[in-house]
Each structure stands twice: as C-alpha cells, then as structure tokens.
Amino acid sequence: MTGPALPVPSEIDTPFALDGATLEGFRRNGHTVVRGLASASEVARFAPPILAQERRLAEKAPPLAERGTYFKAFLQGHNLWTRDEAIKPFVFSARFARVAAELMGVAGVRLYHDQSLTKEPGGGHTPWHQDQTYWPLDTSDTITMWMPLVDVPETVGSMTFANGTHLRGDLGPWVIGDESEAAFSELVERDGFETATHGALKAGDATFHRGWTLHRAPANPTTLMRSVMTIIWYADQTRVSANLAGVRAMDHQFWLNAIPPGEVADGPLNPRLWPR
C-alpha cells in the first residue's frame, strides 16, 4: 500500500548509539531509559507545535472533577503528524525508529501511531495495563517511546514497569481503569514481579517499553503540565491479528485502515520508518 511521503532527512534522523547494558536491560526487563535521545535544540524545534495541539485538547476538556479514572489520567491526542506538518519529522524520525528496532532486535519497524499524553496539574494516576491488549497485531514485537517535552521532576515521575512481564505475554483482558489497577496489582504481588521506574526525566530523555510490559504512572500532584509525546512502532512485515474483539476493533479501523486479518499491516498510516 502507498504510504505518506517521508520528510526530507534532518538532524532528528541522525543515529544514536545504544550501549550494551541498555540493550540487555531492555531484553530482560521489557523497558529501558535512553537519556538525551533528543537534543535541547530538537526539543526547542518540536515542542511548540506539539504543545499547541495539547493546548487545543486542554481547552476542550471538562473539569478534572467531572471525569472518571481513565480521563483523569491524561489528555490524549492521536496521530499529531497528520494534523501539523511541523510535527511529522519528529514522529517519522529515523533515529527514534532505529532505536526502537535495535531494542527489539528486529530488522525494521513501521509506525502504528503517535500519541500525546498530557497529565494535567492534579491529574490522576494511570492504572496498571498492557498496551497490546488494544492492538490487533500478530506479533509481540511492538514498542512505545515515551518522551517528555518538559523536564519531569521526581514529584511527578515517569512510568513504573513490572520487570519481565513482557515475557509472559497477555496477562488478562483488562483495559485501563479501576479494574485493571486492582487485578494487575494483585497479579504483581502474587507472582512477585519486581517493579522499577526511571524516575525524573529531562525533556528529550525517553523510556521505551514493549507492548506486553505491564506499566502504570503516578498522579500529578504539582502545577506542572506533564507534556509527553509517544510513538508506537511494530516490526515490519507484521500481519493483522485474527483477534479483533473488544477495544481492538476500534484500533483496527483507526490505525490499520481495517486491513483484513492475516494480511501485512502496511496501511497508509503505517510507513516503514526504519530502515529508510
């Protein structure tokens, strides 16, 4: 299928060297941190258009007190690259996509979608969940980059991961909410999973986690907007899953152009971003 035109290569496409400990930690734990992945000048270039999209969402959102657990956790913007050409080189970055491929140990990756995740001042916790519950992709080679565009202090914090949960695959049917928090808290306790966080992050640092890695994030007790941009990729040549039940049906329509199950997931919103 024909995809979107790729932006003219720029600084954001230059390589970034990962060390052996990062690769090994990611394989073992299903998550890692890569500090300084985007430079200060790259954050200065891409944060303004992304934060403009975030403001648009914040203006339309009902007061926090009127929202349930899911909508208290974050404001969500999707595929911002389709809304503003200025954001496209960030989402299509060959550097980020190559890091994603190298961490997973796959030859190439395609874009699933991007997502801004803003935890507002006073925003609630993000309950335990597995991202891949939502994704109709016939692979476990899926990965999310979570990059703050502002410095995130310890008091706000980044995500907490349950080490090694990616190796167990699907841990249950729960989507993000009070039930997932209760069920997965019990599972983490029962099965003795160690939990870990990468703590405070600077703008341009990033965490990466696999689609089946169980994770959550703390509430935001500060007055800071926790502005985060995420990008999700999957291994090139991945096929659409036969399981389109529940929340997966919506993702299938939105992000995979409703490509039939069993066919290669290479829709018009899913350009191959590494290798170029």
CA 252 to chain CA centroid, Å, is 17
List 201's β-bridge partners, or say none: 152
Q: Concatenated DSSP letters for 23-91? A: HHHHHHHSEEEETTSS-HHHHHHHHHHHHHHHHHHHHHSPPGGGS-HHHHH-EEEE-GGGT-TTTHHHH
146 binds ligand AKG (CB under 6 A): yes
- Could you tell me the maximum CA-CA distance found in the chain, to the nearest angstrom? 50
**Binds ligand AKG (CB under 6 A): choice among 54, 114, 120, 131:** 131
Cβ closer to ligand AKG: 46 or 146?
146
Applying CB under 6 A, among 98, 110, 119, 248 the residue interacting with ligand AKG is: 119
User: What is the C-alpha separation between 232 and 117, in angstroms, rounded?
Assistant: 13
> Which of positions 58-77 make contact with ligand AKG (CB under 6 A)?
73-74
What is the closest distance, in whole angstroms, from the C-beta atom of residue 145 to ligand AKG in the complex?
Answer: 9
**In angstroms, what is the minimal distance from the CB of 97 to ligand AKG?**
17
Binding of ligand AKG by 137 (CB under 6 A): no
3-state secondary structure of 261: coil
Give the one residue of 32, 93, 230, 270 binding ligand AKG; rule: CB under 6 A: 230
Determine the residue type at 125: H
Binding status of residue 80 toward ligand AKG by CB under 6 A: no
Q: Closest CB to ligand AKG among 167 and 264?
A: 167
Cβ proximity to ligand AKG, 231 vs 265, nearer residue:
231
Q: Considering only CA atoms, which of 163, 61, 178, 38 is closest in space to residue 122?
A: 61
Task: Among 217, 225, 244, 265, indicate the residue that binds ligand AKG (CB under 6 A).
Answer: 217
Give the containing element (helix H, strand E) for 223. Answer: none
| Least gap, CB of 216 to ligand AKG (angstroms) | 7
Please, what is the minimum distance in Å from the beta carbon of residue 31 to ligand AKG? 10
- Give me 153's structure tokens: 């202090």
Which C-beta is closer to ligand AKG: that of 221 or that of 262? Answer: 221
Rounded Cα distance, 118 and 55, in Å: 10
* Residue 174 touching ligand AKG (CB under 6 A): no
- 135: burial class by Cβ within 10 Å (0-12, 13-18, 19+)? buried
Distance (Å, whole) CA 11 – CA 176? 36
- Report if residue 229 touches ligand AKG, rule: CB under 6 A: no
Lay out the site mask for ligand AKG across 99-118 (x = CB under 6 A, - = otherwise). Answer: ------------------x-
Whose tokens are 């349930």? That residue is 68
Interface positions with ligand AKG (CB under 6 A):
73-74, 117, 119, 126, 131, 144, 146, 159, 215, 217, 228, 230
